[in-house]
Amino acid sequence: MRGALGVVVLVAALAGIAVAVFFIVRRQRYLAAVRERGWTHDSNPALGTVLDLAAPPFGLGLAREVDELVTGTTPAGFSFRVFAWKYSGAGSGYSARVGVLELAGGFPEVFLARPGGQRAGIAPAAVSLTEVGSDELSVVATDEAFARRVLQAAGGALLGFGGATGGLDLSLEGRHLVAVGAPKSPDALAGWLAALDAVALAVAPLAGPAVPDNTGFGFHGHPDWGFVGSDLSVLDTYPVSEGGFGHEVTDLVRGFRDGIRLDAFVHEWKTTHTETTTDAQGNTSTRTVTDHHSEPVCGFVLPFAVPGLSVNGGRLGRKVAFESTAFNEAFTVRAEDAKFASDVIHPRMMEWLLATDPVGWTVSGQIVVFEVGRHDTLVVDACEATLRGWLARIPGFVWEDLGLTPPPFALGRVGS
């Protein structure tokens, strides 16, 4: 029996060695093929090597990773980077191999894809985009005239790239042409880059003056946001769970614009409880178990105080009913001042709320907290848009009654 067991162990060990050798040999062949083409390879690139890119699929999420960086020159002479890119904390997350060609001059952000295939996150609330195209091609940009120029100059090359590679998910930003779906095989990658050259050559004449690259860990569409990481003082600013011990703040995103401060983060803490167990002999024992808790927080500090109001938020004041049955069914409004609630939740405000269906929120003095279910930059963006949209639609007489100056973005809309 022992002899048979020894044979099994030996066979398993040899099989493991054979598998390891197979992967090592395959890896060395891959690296050799990369070098033969005059390219370089970095198996552990720093995040900073791609932080000059800001438009999606970059500039999104909280955890970002770059891997397997290959650099070189395309057949047409463009410098390129190809790498695996991953992020989480913005929608469903992302993981793909991406290629970047360096062009001369500068371009506004333009996204090129099949209709309905646009990248997630390309339209933050602070940015207005327009789409032009056809049944085969979609061009999305902030400048409609430029989008049409791209469609006219590069439409054929784009469709040719899609036909040759089987994918069509590209973008322009600054001096970069970005394409998603780069293959890993050096042979396949060479053909993919050659096809991408045609797009680069088609758009190159449209370049304008060079623009500065992105710098640092930024957030697309939000130059006022920054990644702070941790700041325990926010626990004294917002209504969070106070029990337990070991309170921590993680993944803090902070912003400041028009006098309004944003803090979005995860609050973590611990509690303990005692468990008692009894064994087969009737002996009992106890042990202390540590429980880990967390809650996402998305809050804002206003530069002024307003009466307490809750829209599908916390229990604050008394429930206020409105004449619209549809609104009352969709939203629960509570207020410390019923008149303030009826003044700010006017018919056009109700129409806007019903159309946008935002996450609930509570205003208490200067503090606004949204009822978010997860810490996610796309969710935070939507909450910020809701807050600013609500403030912008508050009638002028309300600001006058409160003795307050409307925020800058509300000017021209006050009274609507």
93-117 pLDDT, tens digit each: 999 999 999 999 999 999 999 998 8
Q: Does 243 score more than 80 pLDDT?
A: yes
**Closest CA relative to residue 151, chosen from 126, 115, 103:** 115
- Average pLDDT estimate for 10-38: 71
Q: Can you say how many angstroms the Cα of residue 353 is from the centroid of all Cα atoms in its chain?
A: 24
Q: Is 10 a residue whose pLDDT tops 70?
A: no
Percentage, residues of the chain above pLDDT 90: 80
Give Dmax (Cα) for the chain.
Answer: 93
Residue 16 pLDDT exceeds 90: no
Closest CA to 99 of 202, 169, 174, 28: 169
Cα separation, 411 vs 356, whole angstroms: 22
Domain boundary among 206, 233, 257: 206
| Residues 325, 274 within the same domain | yes
Do 123 and 242 lie in a common domain? Answer: no
Instruction: Count Cβ neighbours within 10 Å for each residue of 226-246 and write b for 16 or more, e otherwise.
Output: beeeeeeebbebbebeeeeee
Looking at the structure, do residues 38 and 178 belong to the same domain, yes or no?
A: yes
pLDDT of 414 reads 46
Q: How far apart are CA 302 and CA 404, in angstroms?
A: 12
Angle at 252 between CA 239 and CA 385, to 5 degrees: 75
Residues 286 and 236 in one domain: yes
Do 190 and 336 fall into the same domain? Answer: no
Residue 184 has pLDDT above 90, yes or no: yes
Task: For residue 211, name the pLDDT band (cuts at 50, 70, 90).
Answer: confident
Band of residue 183 on the pLDDT scale cut at 50, 70, 90: very high
Q: Are residues 54 and 113 in the same domain?
A: yes
- The whole-number average pLDDT for the span 208-229 is 91
Q: Give the single-character DSSP code of 242.
A: -
Any idea which residue has 């469709």 for tokens? 159
pLDDT at 415 over 50: no
Q: Say if residue 133's pLDDT is above 80.
A: yes
- In whole numbers, what is the pLDDT of the chain averaged over residues? 91
Question: How confident is the model at residue 350, as a pLDDT?
Answer: 97
Placement of tokens 């690139």 in the chain: 45
Domains in the chain, number: 2
Residues 195 and 314 in one domain: no
Task: Examine the domain organization and report whether 273 and 364 are in the same domain.
Answer: yes
Model confidence, pTM: 0.86
Same domain (yes/no): 154, 242: no
Residue 375 is part of which domain span? 225-410
**Does residue 65 share a domain with residue 162?**
yes
